[in-house]
């Protein structure tokens, strides 16, 4: 994970929610992302460039976009139609996000649309 001083950042370009940038990096706000909060507190697994991540409960795609800045592919599962609209826009700008509208509790609905993953992150 990349830190500039005490600030967690991700290397992707362009903002998703108007987040600040710092030295060309996107600031990953721990008050807007539980995963960023975990990293800020010193926990979590390193996200590496070759990883494929299954992200359950993708919502609007804020945290998904930061994860996508670090990994090869993010399969982003979201159930609700309104957040899915935002997620689709985020995925349009980041080609390594695969948005999937499905119930996270029913993997048989979305498993056919993805390959094996290295990490499952559950934000539901």
Q: Tens digits of per-residue pLDDT, 79-109?
A: 999 999 999 999 999 999 999 999 999 999 9
Q: Over pLDDT 90: what percentage of the chain?
A: 85
List, in order, residues 6 or more apart from 75 with CB less than 8 Å away: 52, 53, 54, 55, 98, 100, 110, 113, 114, 117
Q: Over pLDDT 70: what percentage of the chain?
A: 98
The SS3 call for residue 19 is: coil
Q: Could you give the dihedral angle defined by the CA atoms of residues 100, 104, 108 and 113, in that order, rounded to the nearest 10 degrees?
A: 20
Asked whether the beta carbons of 102 and 79 are under 8 A apart, the reply is yes
Average pLDDT over residues 40-55: 94
Average pLDDT over residues 66-81: 97
Which residue ranges form the domains of the chain, and what is each CATH number? Answer: 2-122 (3.40.50.150)
Query: Per-residue confidence at 44, pLDDT binned at 50, 70, 90?
Result: confident
Say what the pTM is.
0.93
The answer to whether residue 15 scores a pLDDT higher than 80 is: no
Average pLDDT over residues 32-36: 93
The SS3 call for residue 77 is: strand
The answer to whether residue 111 scores a pLDDT higher than 90 is: yes
């Amino acid at each position: 994970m990349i830190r500039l001083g005490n600030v967690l950042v991700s290397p992707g370009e362009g903002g998703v929610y108007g987040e600040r940038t710092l030295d060309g990096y996107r600031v990953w706000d721990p008050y807007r992302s539980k995963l960023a909060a975990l990293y800020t507190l010193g926990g979590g697994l390193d996200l590496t460039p070759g990883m494929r991540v299954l992200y359950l409960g993708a919502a609007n795609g804020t945290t998904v976009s930061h994860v996508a800045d670090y990994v090869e592919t993010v399969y982003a599962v979201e159930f609700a139609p309104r957040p899915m609209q935002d997620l689709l826009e985020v995925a349009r700008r980041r080609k390594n996000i695969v948005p999937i509208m499905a119930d996270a509790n029913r993997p048989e609905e979305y498993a056919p649309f993805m390959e094996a993953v290295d990490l499952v992150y559950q934000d539901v």
